[in-house]
């Protein structure tokens, strides 16, 4: 166990090379400075090179073109998904009306018909009045929605001359295209 030695004192044999000097400065009226700052309230504190702004609460605000792009992309996704869901729902209702009373046969596996293996085949099936074709068309709309969003983003970044984002968006588009085309080959 450790014992406390009250007689031990820390000391230094080195002498300081400098002296401490205290200065007394005249005190100004601080209340008047605060009142001047309150009078000079400014909504915008600073601006960045890409036209984004920081407001008085240090929040980054978006430019009108950034807000418009964000609004366009959010509406594109929202309405794309709603349209795809409506088409799938319509096809599902039509399929159940025509085939809802048929018993399910699980004796053998029946694969997807060849007409549904390509977008052209799906469109031909819809034009011929196929219920399953309408469901497949809704699923194609659902797949196409984020792809259209990437294409719109690409054009928006090209117009804004944001070339780093253009490169990233092109990589995403190439990846999506490869995954779709790779399914056929």
Predicted confidence band at 151 (pLDDT cuts at 50, 70, 90)? very high
DSSP state of 116: G
Q: Does residue 45 sit within a domain?
A: no
Q: How confident is the model at residue 25 (pLDDT cuts 50, 70, 90)?
A: low
Q: Which of 3-17, 92-106, 113-127 shows the lowest mean pLDDT across its residues?
A: 3-17
**3-class DSSP state for residue 53?**
strand
Residue predicted with more confidence, 39 or 159: 159
For residue 50, being part of any structural domain is answered with: no
Domain span holding position 168: 64-98+114-181
**Total residues found in the chain within this entry:** 185
**Helix residue ranges, H only, the chain:** 30-39, 64-99, 119-127, 131-160, 163-181
Residue 77 domain flag:
yes
Residue 10 maps to a domain = no
Residue 20 backbone dihedrals phi, psi, to 5 degrees: -95, 130
Out of 24-28, 73-77, 90-94, 164-168, least confident range: 24-28
Task: Tell me if 15 is assigned to some domain.
Answer: no
Residue 59, in any domain of the structure: no
Q: State the total domains in the chain.
A: 1
Q: What is the pLDDT of residue 138?
A: 93
Residues of the chain above pLDDT 90, percent = 23
In a domain, 150, yes or no: yes
Could you give the CA distance from residue 185 to residue 182 in angstroms, rounded to a whole number? Answer: 5
pTM of the model: 0.60
Higher pLDDT, 165 or 44: 165
Residue 74 lies in a domain: yes
Measured distance CA(50)–CA(63) in Å, rounded: 9
What are the beta bridge partners of residue 44?
Answer: 55
């Amino acid at each position: 166990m450790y014992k406390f030695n009250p007689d031990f004192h820390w000391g230094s044999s080195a002498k300081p090379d400098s002296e401490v000097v205290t200065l007394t400065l005249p005190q100004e009226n601080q209340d008047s400075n605060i009142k001047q700052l309150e009078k000079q309230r400014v909504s915008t504190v600073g601006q960045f090179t890409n036209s984004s702004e920081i407001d008085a609460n240090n929040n980054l605000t978006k430019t009108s073109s950034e807000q418009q792009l964000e609004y366009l992309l959010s509406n594109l996704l929202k309405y794309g998904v709603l349209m795809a869901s409506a088409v799938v729902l319509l096809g599902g209702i039509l399929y159940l009306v025509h085939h809802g009373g048929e018993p399910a046969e699980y004796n053998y596996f029946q694969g997807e018909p060849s007409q549904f293996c390509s977008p052209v085949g799906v469109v031909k099936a819809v034009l011929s009045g196929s219920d399953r074709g309408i469901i497949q068309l809704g699923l194609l709309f659902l797949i196409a929605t984020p792809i259209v969003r990437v294409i719109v983003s690409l054009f928006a970044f090209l117009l804004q001359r944001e070339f780093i984002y253009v490169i990233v968006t092109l990589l995403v588009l190439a990846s999506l295209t490869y995954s779709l085309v790779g399914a056929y080959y």
